[in-house]
Structure 1
Amino acid sequence: MNSLRKYKNQLIHFFVIPTIIGLLGGVSAIVFRKAISFFHNLFTTVSPFQQYHYLFPIIIPVVFLITYKISKLFVISPEDVTIDEVAKRISLKKGGFDLKKGLAVLGTTSFNIGAGVPVGREGPIAKLGGVTSELLMKIIKTDRLHLPIYLTCGVSSAISATFNAPIAAILFGTEIVLGKINSYILIPLVVSSSIAAIVSQEAFGDFAAFTVPHLNFSNAEIIFLPIAVLLLSLIPLFFWIFFDFFSHLRYAFRHHWGKFVFIYGIVVGIVLFFFPEAAGVGYEQITKLLSGQIPPFLSFQIFLAKFFAVILAFGAGIFGGLMSPSIFLGAFGGFSAGELFKLIDPSVNPAVFALIGSASVLSGISRAPFRSSLIIIELTHSYQLVVPILLASIMTKYLLNVEGEISFLKRALLNKGIDVENILTIKKLKDFNISQFLKLIHPLYENTHISVAQERLLKEKWRYLPVVKSPHDNHLIGIVSLRDIRISALFEAKNLKVRDIMTPDPFALPLNASFEDILKALALLETNLIPVVDEKGNYVGMFDVDEFLRFLSF
């Protein structure tokens, strides 16, 4: 009977709930794309001209103003409608999505993209995936232990269906859920993302986002790859500089921002009037670019127009995702770089650098190189270019790493409840001192019998005890844990000393460790106590991780 109940619970966790979530994700993606098509057809139908772009200077400012009013009505910040913010909500708050806000974001983004605003789909659809899966969890009353897994299934399935990229969606999911990959987490993600992709493919076919001819990366092009990445890295660099500038501007003039939004809309409308190729998601234009239908100089002009329009749209606070604009900018920017390389070596294919550019710019803007690489590979079915795409994504991440090593560890820290971006800006760290978190735990000596260590670990609340050489030599040489005691019990040796069971040469924080050093240690270690030593390697005390986390919370 117990075995039957166990298999029933496993069936529900691994297949039943993920299948339902996958169906919801697939249907959500279909509804989203149908809504975008509806608004696009609506705008093109009402146009009195043969070319819809003649209306951009009129329509776009009105759309900007409507989005601004909706954001005020529902109290929605544009920063809330991003994949990273959805990930933070799942990791830190275990959900709490608002159904009304989710539907408002979905409807507004559909309206915006349909009208031609140059924004993407992934942020809103990820938010909708979180909303629908959380609503389902409330209906079936699942326990909170599994809630982050199922919420992530919802987000991943929505992304999988929207972009026909189940592998990238699964990778995204494993980044959110505790930063771990195991079968208990991975199987529900695979099932939900796969079901969502099947539903989407049933509605739209097994589509690639844009049609890519068969491309090969030749040896002649290898020498141009680092140069291309250097050039392409300037795109996300300038994007974030302008994005931060407009974000501060939006806050400074928040009481009169409606007027600014309308003016931004007029400017974007004029840009799109002259360069309609920069409007909307733009995947069709990438197809034309790769098939040689857009001249090289015009492709560079379109790139500049798109960059300017995207900056103003997001600067104005318009809802939408950054992924599609990033791919567009990378494709056109990479193609332009490829044309320059072609002047040096006629064998260079600019289309190859268009795909490399898409991955590079997406990596720089999303700050997620592996996910960016997989998305480009899956969106284009260009598996033969996996090596240059991966290299470009990683190199871009490295070049733009202005925040130091901690930027590589943000996800690991986020999964421990530490939002690095907020902490580094809010906390007053000038007077930070590691000594305030030290616990003076008396060390063991290497020649002490293990029974002493066992007795102390059972009586005291600590899970780890430091080991030094002797009462007269305080040099740290090891750590003993309950796990070490349990393993030693298997050998039934009566004369074991602490040195025989300890973990030798443990990692230790220096007494003058910086705040960033501690964050790095927290990201890489799974422990609640870390030894601290002075400049000579002598044991000083144990750093209390739990106390440090409490400090960060208030």
Structure 2
Amino acid sequence: MFLKTLNITLQVSLTGIVIGAIVSLCSIGFVFGVQSAADFRVNFDSCLFGIGGLCFAISPLLFLILTATLIIIVKKFLNISRYHGPADVILSAHSNGAELDIKTGFLSTFSAFVSASGGASVGQYGPLVHLGGTIGSLIKRHTKTMLTKDVFIGCGVAAAISAGFNSPIGGIIFAHEAILRHFSFRAIAPIAVSSVVSATVANQFFPTGILFQNTDSDIAVLPSVSISLLLGPLCAIIAVIFMRGLLSLQANLNKISSSEVQRIYIAAFICGLCGGFIPEILGLGGETIEGMLANSYTLSFLFIILIFKLFVTIICLSMGFFGGVFSPALVLGASIGAIFTVLASQLGIDILGDSLILAAMAALSASVIGAPIASIVIIFELTQSYDLAFVAITCVASSCVISTVIFGHSFFDKQLLNRNFKISRGRTEILLSEVTVKDLLGKNDFLKVSNEISQEQLLQTFEKSEFTEAYFVNDENVLLGKIKVNVILSKTKKSIPMDPSPLTLDSNLNISEAIVKVSNFVGESIPVIDGHNKLLGVLNEADLFLEYLKVQDAISYIEKD
């Protein structure tokens, strides 16, 4: 018992430490590299001309064109068919068959790094989450341990969020809430170790936090909470517009251009022109959020940031640039919160501090990524203020409820649903969909007869067998019909009353679909056919039920032990 306990402790500790340290260093490198590139771009932000009080700089357009060119080269010569993101991490954590592609994972992260470094309006936390999950999956493939794949992925994701936000508790909760979708003793220990190690390493490089921590927490709770109740529904509406805008444009790209090269250059041109006048809408948006927290923008300019940030982000993420949706959601939320703060101030409500800005950031991002509790905890860890987190709770709750009813659980869930993965139905649906009817064949005997058999011969065949049903096939084994012995015995005519259209299962049908199809079936067995209607074998209800129990046992091992 002592050796077993020691072995488990070592596995949990080493897994968390190794993944946490590696992911933290990679996350720090990513964030520091993007920030260094942003600082470098600032040196070229010289005014070319002015219109209506706005100064136009050509550098954003030039950098975006350069970035688009580099992305085209990377995607073409390294043969990336589709960028991978958090949705793929969620699927891999729930599926035995959906392994994370290591090459595509790292190249997707590189493309996101290039996009963010060039000033595209994309996020960094989605790519970091995917990078963390990919590193966890890679380490799992090269180690023999009692811990399952989803735990390794969870460790990587928690470490990425922990380093990215300097929020170890938020990282732990995010991994369970948004990725694993369950809490278990088996997973919590290594994920907690990974998240804490990641934050510890990150603090050696960014002791004041990577994002921001200088917030005004001197607030009046009652007016802040009251206004946040109105703010939440608006955050939900903006989040739904953002997510639907992305999916709609992505679904209609060919109407703009069938060429990926043309589309990304169009995006670079549009975003470069907009960003040339309004640089606050480009990049990750960290400095823009800091400006809002410092009350640096007028009410009219906050509306401009909100509208154009939404516009250029949808353009960038849909038309060739790659990155996350988390950071843009934070900027959009901060814009709405800042607008409410200014409006409240004009009405004489001044003791709000940064509560509405932070609450709206948490609410809008929670609606997009589907992690309300993690969003609230991250706000608490970033600000170290109970009052600010308290205000965020009501805003997050109302936003998530409304966005879930209108749109769905999260943007990632909708992405998976569009790929025919119903992640919202839980791990059971995913695991059952990975097993096909064909995989269960070969366990059951059945009675197969020629279509030319006489009624007397058929009765004799039934008498010699233990079956109560028979299947008629021709010389090519094509299923022609089915009959039950009691039907023959109840008929006096010599012709055989065959059922020409019995319930059948396609061999490529997955178990989840098969269970639904046979839910009202009564009989001995169900014939399984291929695409040419040839009889391959039979299944019964017990086969499907046992497969369901097998999946439930596997889930119990993962989620409850």
Shift of 1:247: 0.8
**Superposition map of 1:49-64 within 5 A:** 53-64=57-68
Residue ranges of structure 1 left out of the alignment (5+ in a row)? 424-521, 523-527, 533-540
Shift of 1:244: 1.9
Q: Which of 62, 68, 74 is matched with 1:70 structurally? A: 74
For residue 454 of structure 1, what is the aligned residue in structure 2? none
Question: Is the Cα–Cα contact under 8 Å of residues 14 and 187 in structure 1 kept in the other structure?
Answer: yes
Moved more, 255-264 or 169-178: 169-178
Residue ranges of structure 2 left out of the alignment (5+ in a row)? 49-54, 414-421, 435-511, 521-540, 551-561
Figure out how many residues of one structure are paired with residues of the other and give that number. 435
1:182 is the counterpart of 2:170 = no
- RMSD across aligned C-alpha pairs, in angstroms? 3.7
**Superposition map of 1:151-162 within 5 A:** 151-162=153-164
Moved more, 410-419 or 19-28: 410-419
For residue 390 of structure 2, what is the aligned residue in structure 1? 387
Question: Is the Cα–Cα contact under 8 Å of residues 179 and 411 in structure 1 kept in the other structure?
Answer: no
For residue 273 of structure 1, what is the aligned residue in structure 2? 276
Superimposed CA distance per residue, residues 272-300 of structure 1 (whole angstroms, 9 cap, x where no aligned partner): 11111122112222122112222222222
Q: Which of 156, 164, 172 is matched with 1:170 structurally? A: 172
For residue 425 of structure 2, what is the aligned residue in structure 1? 413
Shift of 1:76: 4.2
Question: Is the Cα–Cα contact under 8 Å of residues 62 and 262 in structure 1 kept in the other structure?
Answer: no
For residue 207 of structure 1, what is the aligned residue in structure 2? 209
Superimposed CA distance per residue, residues 429-462 of structure 1 (whole angstroms, 9 cap, x where no aligned partner): xxxxxxxxxxxxxxxxxxxxxxxxxxxxxxxxxx
For residue 487 of structure 1, what is the aligned residue in structure 2? none
**Superposition map of 1:325-404 within 5 A:** 325-347=328-350, 349=352, 351-402=354-405
TM-score, with normalisation over the residues of structure 1? 0.70
For residue 534 of structure 2, what is the aligned residue in structure 1? none
Shift of 1:185: 1.4
Superimposed CA distance per residue, residues 76-121 of structure 1 (whole angstroms, 9 cap, x where no aligned partner): 466622x233111221146622332222222222222122112111
Question: Per the alignment, in what secondary structure is the counterpart of residue 253 of structure 2?
Answer: helix
Moved more, 291-300 or 310-319: 291-300
**Superposition map of 1:80-479 within 5 A:** 80-81=84-85, 83-93=86-96, 96-142=99-145, 146-175=148-177, 179-207=181-209, 209-210=211-212, 211-250=214-253, 255-347=258-350, 349=352, 351-402=354-405, 413-418=425-430
Shift of 1:217: 4.3
Question: Is the Cα–Cα contact under 8 Å of residues 213 and 291 in structure 1 kept in the other structure?
Answer: no
Q: Which of 8, 11, 15 is matched with 1:10 structurally? A: 8
Amino acid aligned to 2:311: F
Question: Per the alignment, in what secondary structure is the counterpart of residue 322 of structure 2?
Answer: coil
For residue 456 of structure 2, what is the aligned residue in structure 1? none
Question: Is the Cα–Cα contact under 8 Å of residues 201 and 207 in structure 1 kept in the other structure?
Answer: yes
Question: Is the Cα–Cα contact under 8 Å of residues 367 and 404 in structure 2 kept in the other structure?
Answer: no
Shift of 1:549: 10
Shift of 1:221: 3.6
Cα gap change, 1:407/1:313 in structure 2, threshold over 3 Å: closer, same or farther? closer
Superimposed CA distance per residue, residues 282-323 of structure 1 (whole angstroms, 9 cap, x where no aligned partner): 222212211222222222222222111111111213211111
Moved more, 66-75 or 360-369: 66-75
Cα gap change, 1:329/1:384 in structure 2, threshold over 3 Å: closer, same or farther? same
**Superposition map of 1:506-521 within 5 A:** none
Amino acid aligned to 2:70: I
Moved more, 59-68 or 331-340: 59-68
Cα gap change, 1:46/1:273 in structure 2, threshold over 3 Å: closer, same or farther? closer
Tell me, in whole angstroms, the C-alpha distance in 2 between the residues paired with 1:232 and 1:124: 24
For residue 494 of structure 1, what is the aligned residue in structure 2? none
Cα gap change, 1:180/1:402 in structure 2, threshold over 3 Å: closer, same or farther? closer
Superimposed CA distance per residue, residues 378-401 of structure 1 (whole angstroms, 9 cap, x where no aligned partner): 334333222221221111111123
Tell me, in whole angstroms, the C-alpha distance in 2 between the residues paired with 1:176 and 1:238: 21
Tell me, in whole angstroms, the C-alpha distance in 2 between the residues paired with 1:29 and 1:195: 13
Question: Per the alignment, in what secondary structure is the counterpart of residue 321 of structure 1?
Answer: coil
Tell me, in whole angstroms, the C-alpha distance in 2 between the residues paired with 1:265 and 1:106: 19
TM-score, with normalisation over the residues of structure 2? 0.69
Question: Per the alignment, in what secondary structure is the counterpart of residue 405 of structure 2?
Answer: coil
Shift of 1:131: 2.3
Question: Is the Cα–Cα contact under 8 Å of residues 330 and 354 in structure 1 kept in the other structure?
Answer: yes
For residue 558 of structure 2, what is the aligned residue in structure 1? none
Question: Is the Cα–Cα contact under 8 Å of residues 61 and 265 in structure 1 kept in the other structure?
Answer: yes
Tell me, in whole angstroms, the C-alpha distance in 1 between the residues paired with 2:282 and 2:20: 31
Amino acid aligned to 1:277: E
For residue 438 of structure 1, what is the aligned residue in structure 2? none
